[in-house]
Amino acid sequence: MWLFIKVTMGVIDDFKTEKNINLIFIAASKMIKDKYSELETSDNDLLNIINSIKITICSDAVLIKKIVRLMELNKIALSKVKDHFDDMINKKYEPEIIEKNEDKIDNIKYDSEQLLLKVLELEEKRNAANSFANLQKETQEKKYESIIVSQPSNIDINLKIIEKLELLSKEKTKINSKIIVINSYNRDWINKQYRNKLSFSINIDLQKHNIKIDKLIMPNFIKDKTPYITMSIGDSKFAQKFIFILKSTNSNNKWDTWENANNDNDNLLLINTKNWHISFTDFINNELDMGADGINIIEVNEKQNYIYDLTIDNGNKKKYYDFGKCNIYDNLLIKTNNGDNIQGKILNIDDNILTVYIENIEKKELMNSSLLNYKEQYSILLSYNQKLYY
């Protein structure tokens, strides 16, 4: 019994992988192109449909108990995709009896040899054609057998292609990922002082690349506010949520590492727009209090070359608290009154008076300037790689 459960869970894990979802996507795309060409369906819509079907299948306890092979799950997924588009067709047109010419039916069905040749061409572009030669011969023989027995269905032929692609995918070398780091201090912190919410545009072709949310580097006070963090990322129409748990902490460090609680295959970002909005909530689903920047300098006294006493505004207690605690030798980012960004290092603290070392600046430039507390900032680490198929 234990062995059966282990095998079943292994099949489910394989079914949910990014590689397998891509294979289902390719097979479904070919089916839609040939049979449902009159329907307008984007790649993003199809991927969302497949992911929804994936969740439905994985949640069906009765079904899962009966499945022992990956291809059975793939066949069910493709059947559900077909049912989805059949329903769309039924809603689009009024019910009527239509006599179909047998020749037209034959034309709609896939020609397995042509489809496999398309797969061969796709793999040749990725320098894997040699490994496909024997598979092509085998498939050609099966084609002649199928003529004698019965005409295969669209889904059966798509599943054969998935099997071939699975074999080829196993022979591929591991794809190297590149890392992107998003820092909260790069936001417009004068106009968007609260650190929690970020809005920006990312310069990556999301149609050709997969992106995964890997880690958060958070200031160490965050762990005192929540045992886990929920990050929401998306556009104005669609948002994904990822949960992060504390991975490592050290009292001597200013930052902690939080890692994605999801399995690696579930970290894939599904949105396809380049304009992102990111926010964080705590364990009771309230907006995570991460503080704010942009506190004002209300008085400047020059002590000696490059050393200034900066009096920061503590009249608004909430804003003063949100800025965060400062320590000697902390770094500050200063937005001067003429819009320049310069760095300073704290040498001494006396209540709300910070003695700061700042190079190459005049006293008049510091009046009515604003401060960002570097120690209270966070970073988001993402990785991306090119899709095998798109």
Question: Residue 101's CB: how many other CB atoms inside 10 A?
Answer: 8
Cβ neighbours for 260, distance < 8 A, ≥ 6 positions apart: 213, 214, 215, 242, 243, 244, 267
Average pLDDT over residues 25-39: 81
Ranges assigned E (strand) in 144-294: 178-183, 198-201, 209-219, 228-234, 239-248, 255-260, 275-281
Nearest to 385 by CA among 22, 129, 127: 22
87 and 106 inside one domain: yes
Tens of pLDDT, residues 140-193: 554 444 443 444 555 555 555 565 555 555 555 456 788 989 999 999 999 999
Pairing of strands 209-219, 255-260: antiparallel
Show the domain range for 269: 179-390
pLDDT at 144: 45
Here the tokens at position 145 are: 């057998």
The letter for the amino acid at 342 is I
Average pLDDT over residues 24-53: 84
96 and 245 inside one domain: no
Cα dist from 30 to 33, 254, 278, whole Å:
5, 52, 35
Instruction: Report how many domains make up the chain.
Output: 2
115 and 196 inside one domain: no
Sheet with 379-386, strands from edge to edge, namely 178-183, 379-386, 209-219, 255-260, 239-248, 228-234, 275-281, 198-201
- Enclosing H/E stretch for 301: strand 295-304
22 and 95 inside one domain: yes
- Which of 170, 203, 238 is the endpoint of a domain? 170
227 and 303 inside one domain: yes
190 and 162 inside one domain: no
**Rg of the chain, C-alpha, whole Å:** 29
- Which of 135, 170, 205 is the endpoint of a domain? 170
C-alpha count within 13 angstroms, C-beta hemisphere, residue 42: 7
pLDDT at 168: 55
- Which of 149, 170, 191 is the endpoint of a domain? 170
Tens of pLDDT, residues 205-235: 888 888 888 899 999 999 999 999 999 998 8
